[in-house]
Structures are given as structure tokens and as C-alpha cells.
Chain A
Amino acid sequence: MSSPDLGQPTPGAPAAQVAPAASPGVALAASDFANDVGARNAREAFGNYIQRLRGGDMGALPAVGGLIVLVIVFASISGGFLSKGNFANLLTQAAPIMLLGMGLVFILLLGEIDLSAGTASGVSAAIMGLALTQGGDLNQALGTPVYVIVLLGMLAAALVAGFYRIWIAVGVIVLGALVMLTSWDQYAIPGIFVAISVGVAIGTLVGTMVAKIGIPSFVVTLALFLGWQGVLLQFLGNGSAIDVRRNDFIFNLENSNFSPAVGWAIWAVSIAAYLGLTFGRSFRRRRAGLTAEPLLVVALRGFTLAAITGVAVYVLNENRGRTVFTKIEGIPKIIPVVLVLLVFFTFILTRTAFGRHLYAVGGNAEAARRAGIDVVRIRVAAFIISGAMTAIAGIALASRLGSIPSDFGGRNTLLFAVAAAVIGGTSLFGGKGKMRDAVIGGLVIAIIPNGLGLIKDIPSSYELMITAGVLLLAASVDALSRKRTSAR
């Protein structure tokens, strides 16, 4: 029932209260929502889908279409593109973009933007990198003044998060700061936790500036885009990159694979869980007399997903070593990480009140406010989640690069991540988007540099121009589809 702490009246039997027996309304109840049980068969479901497309709700279609076009184009130009090795490469190249994009979906859902996510990931990753390489002695690695400022910043962030009663963030920041004080952060897991806590602290502060103080997010994060680059330079001190290859755990994230058996096991468990959940949902809703998808549609979707991922796992489990002496096979370890986070955040967005409120704030902040939602708190929380994902993306990127150079997360990192989310179908106007958008869009975006890199004699200028073009195209689709839905 509705949360008791708010002392609100529980939804009673409104029908009984509002409509006494004599009311004409009751008689209508049965027929009123006659076609409200969703599509009854697959054909109707398909019809509804076409109608949605026409209405401007394109979903993942542009991204999937773009993906297919790009694969065909690159495959026809370069023979190496469709090789097993390149497929694995593509996934590991896409992973950091996807992770950063997943965090950005939360920001974009609000109708805000975070231009600093890329360089902020450098700050989080650098703190972890320094801790790992300097025996966990951040005081030594950063120099006492900087170290103290970092800790004070985290303290401030913890207080702010506490002010908004976002206790998870308080816990993560405080615990992260405590780990910083010890030398445990020379090990990978505590080090990763420290990086995430820094990301959470950064998200808290950025979110407060945007949501509470009211500076446009564009301005705050444009300033911080530069600011974090400066901070990273400060952290690096003499300017040399931090080498994280010596830490096996971190390095293996992007550079080692699960054994084929484990890969198949992951696949089987994921597919079984997916089918169980989607079928279970359809059955349950049907039994309760609610809108439910036709089983055929659920089955088709599940089968397609199983087939595509099955082929991917099969290809990844083949030996892709270049020589007879090296054997490289299996799913890159970062991929299940991406999938777990995808499932987790999809759950947050679609099954929790927080997720619902986030969409409401993005769609109509005033309506959300009048419904009693603490709009500022929701906005800050979104920036906090994005901050955590920023750190995780930074760790993945550090693993892929093997080091944290002074331009880490700069240049086109952020553009790629925003483009990923938007191409996937997340709207720049807020209120519309899904977690999977960042994953599908991330694949599209990663294909461009990957494919171009395989073509000989192609200047690197092309990569930037083509990526920019793709983002503008996706943004146009977004803007046009918005026009279409709002034209009532």
C-alpha cells in the first residue's frame, strides 16, 4: 500500500465511494476497456507496434537499423571486420562507452546534460590508479594538501547526500573515504570501491549545483569538463600516465576472457532468467485480467534474443588467437559486468518508485512536484547514479588502455557516450529513454572507429566527422519524433 510514513489516505474502493449503485458509470465498467487487455494476438501486437512507429515512437529501431547498415558497409569494405578477433575487440571497445552512456541515460531522462562525465571518469580512475600503484598511500601519491582537499570534498558530498536523505550515497562516500585513509586501496576491489565513491561524491556535488542552486547543467558540466582535466593533471603530477597493467584484476576486465564453459553457463542462466521473467509476467497479468503481451510475441522476442546472443557466445568461444601458439577464446570479462548493470538499472528504472519519479520529473517537473515528489532529491539522485557509472566506465577504460594518461576521458569520450544513448533512443528532451539504449547505441558508436580503423589509408579526421554526423542524425530523429508525438 502507499507508504505509511506519509500518512496519506490509502486508495480505497473509489468505485464504491464515487459511484453509488444508481450511477450509470458502473454498468460501463465491463465494456469500457474492452480493448484494454493489450493486443490479443501477435498480429494485433504487430499492428500496435507499427502504429507506435508511425506515432513517432521509434524505440530501438533506428539503432538496430544503423547497426545493420554499418556492419554491411564495413564488412564489404574490409575483410578483417567480420573476423572473430575483431568481434571481441568491438565489444571491449564498446564497453566503456556503454557504461558511460548508461549513467548518462539518467541525466538525459531529466532533460539535463553532463558534459563532464568523461573527464570526471578520469578523476575517479586516477585516484584508483594512484592507490593501486603507490601501495595505497594516497597521501604520498597526491601530496598532503591535495589529499586533504579530496577528503574534505568527499565529506562535503556526504553531508549534502545526507541532507537529501540519499543514504546509500552517504554510506558509499564515507566508506570510500575511510578506505582511502587505509592502505587497503592498493588492492583492486577496495580500489574500485574508492573510485566509485569518488564518482558518487562528484555526482552529488554536480547534482546539487544543478538541482538545488539551479545553474544550468550545461554550464556546470562545461566548466567541470575543463576543471576535471585540470584536476587529473594535478593528480598526475609530473605528467606521466598511471600504469595499471600491473594490477591483474583491473587489467583483466577488458583484456581477459571467461572460459567457454563459463561463457555458455552465463548465457544459459541469463536466457533462462529472461524467459522465466517475461513469460511469468505475461501469464500473471493474463490471469489477473490485465494488459498482457501475447505469448507468441514474448516467445518470439525471447527466441530472437537467445539466438543472437547464442551466436555471439559461440563466436566468442572460438579460438581467435593470431598464431598457433596463442589461444584466445571466451567472452571478455567486461561483458557480463555490462549485462549485470544493464539488468540492475533497468530494474531501478522500470520497477521502482524512484524510476517512475525520475521519468515524471523529466516529463513534467511541475506535475511531479504537485504529486508530492521531491524533485530536487530525484535530480540529485540521478546525478549520483550517473557519477557512480562514470567511475565504473573510467575503470573499464583504464583497463582497456592499460593506463591513465593526462587526456583520459577527454576528447571525444563524452560525445561517444551521449551519442550512444541518443542513438539508442533516449531523448535529449527528457522523460524518454531506456537503459538498453546505451548498450545498443554504444555498439553502433563503437563500430565506427573500429570499422574505419580497419580500412587502410583512411585519415583519422574521418572518424570524428562521421561520429559527429551520426550523433546529429540521431538527435534529428529524436527531435522529429518528439514533434510528431506532441502534434496532437
Chain B
Amino acid sequence: MLKLFEHETLDVQNLSEEETAIRVEKLNLQFGQKHVLHNISMRIPKNRITSLIGQSGCGKSTLISCFNRMNDLAPDCRYDGSIFIGGRDINRRKENVSQLRTQVGMVFQRPNPFPMSIYDNVCYGLRLQGIRVRRYLDDAVEQSLKDAALWEEVKDRLFESAHILSGGQQQRLVIARALALKPDILLLDEPTSALDPLTTLFIEELMASLKKRCTIVIVTHNMQQAARVSDYTAFLHQGKLIEYADSDTLFTMPEHKQTEDYITGRYG
């Protein structure tokens, strides 16, 4: 199987603390009466790409939203268990959620650039932190757009509306917007599902190149994509973590019957 970057394979079941970016322990989550995540425990390795796969509605989005507490926005959401990022439990009540979200960036399924200029989009997070120095912002915009492989295409129209960009460009702009905050972790929720194959490939390459700088967790419905880009893959079924291993193992020799059924397409 083609890999863009080769490196030693870790055993995700026995990761050391230094190798762990996110440690989830006994996470349970409910929306009202609906139990969505059941007792999930896992360690997500640093500077690697980990993908979450599973049937629609199994709780993938909900799980990655736990990593930056986006679920807090749903009024009837309750959860327990712990999630350790950078050595502290982010599920604590007094966690500074705004700060956490600058540390853990998120990109959504549909590109959602703000109705502002490209420049202002990238600066949004920095400005929220009170950064107003023009030189610093200019540099940050250039660097983030370069990191997101968008600079060459937009450098002459930074002050035009972000809505003139194509879907793929918009998605890269949204990634640049998240990267501007220099996050440790980047959460991508089906980032390519609205894009054509070529643009998808482009974003996949981008992810591979970002691996050096941050930990990436990606939700995808595309088995090939998961196998292609991710180092590790977790399979979720009805809110339970069924199998979690390095992608080569999971896609070639799955341990569980459910996993095999899903990756060979016997589930929907």
C-alpha cells in the first residue's frame, strides 16, 4: 500500500506518555436520553495521522468533537470520563475551552470560510487573541497559507472575499485558518467529502506534510483514503470502539468480524 511517509510503526495499545497526543479514558457521552459513546478508551499517537471510520451515525463526529469540547454547544449533551491532552484532563469543569480550541484546531465537512476577505479569515483566530500588530499578522497569514498549500493561488487577492474561492481552495483556507493558531492537534471531520478526487488528493498530501508539525485526527467514510493517508485507524460501531490498530494491520488482517464486514463493504 502506498505511503507518503514511512516511519516506524508503534503499538497503539501500549503507547508511552511521550508518544501520546490524546489519551481518552472511559469516555461516555449522551445526547439527552441517547447514549452515543460507550466507554471509549484510546491513545492517539503524536505527529501521526489517525483516522476514525465507521457507519454513519456511529459517533465519529461526536468523538472528535470531544477533543475540543465542541459538544458543549449542544444544550442536552452530558459526558463523563477523561480526555488528557498535554497532560491535563480537558473534561474538567474549569478547563479554559477557548484556549483549548486554539490548541486543538478543527476543520468541518463543509468548507465554512467567514464572509470576509481571505486575509481576515486567516487572522480571525489571531485577532481574537488580541494580536493587532500588522507585521506579525502579515507573516502569520503568509506562513499559514503556505502551510496549507494555498499561498501561490491567492497571494495576489488576499483582500478579496473568501467566497470567490473554489470549494477545494476554501477547504484549504479553512485549514490555513486553523493552522494560523499553531495548533498541536488538528481534527478533520470528513474534510474531503465535498471535493473532487484531484482536490482530495491535494488535501491528502497536505495532511501528510503537516504531520511533522501536529497530530492529525481525521474522520472519513472513504476506506481507500483511510488506508492511504493514515498511520492508525480506529473502527467505531454504534458508539463503541471495536478495533484500533495501525492501518496496515487493520485493513489487511482485521481482528474482529465487524471490522472485516465494514471494510469489505458488507455493511452499508
Asked if A pairs with B, the answer is: no
Interface residues of B (CB under 8 A from A): none
Interface residues of A (CB under 8 A from B): none
